[in-house]
Amino acid sequence: MADRHRSSAGMAAESRPLPSRYLTPEDLVEMFELPSVETVYQWRRKRTGPRGFRVGRHLRFDPADVKAWVDAQREGVAA
């Protein structure tokens, strides 16, 4: 099931350019059409999602890191 989410995540992000600002977990939910923000936090705990960082108590993602993660996911999918 996680592989399916990662595969569709790459496709959802590919259709729109990434914003130039740091992304929130809610941004990732919207971009990748995830069921909830908890999915983003599970990825973080399991170290399977894009690299994130904390600003105080807030989790943020660099758009370049998200793109790199999507590209890595796409490389792992058979053509």
Q: 14-73, pLDDT tens digit by residue? A: 567 777 899 999 999 999 999 999 999 999 999 999 999 999 999 999 999 999 999 999
Determine how many CB atoms are found less than 10 A away from the CB of residue 49: 26
Residue 5 scores a pLDDT above 90: no
The DSSP element (H or E) to which 39 belongs, if any, is: helix 37-46
Residue type, 64: A
Q: What was the pLDDT predicted at 76? A: 80
Topology of domain 2-75, CATH: Arc Repressor Mutant, subunit A (1.10.10)
pTM: 0.74
The DSSP element (H or E) to which 13 belongs, if any, is: helix 2-14
Do residues 37 and 25 lie in contact, with contact meaning Cβ atoms separated by under 8 Å?
yes
Residue 11 scores a pLDDT above 80: no
Residue 12 scores a pLDDT above 70: no
What are the C-alpha distances in Å from 27 to residues 5, 40, 78? 16, 10, 27
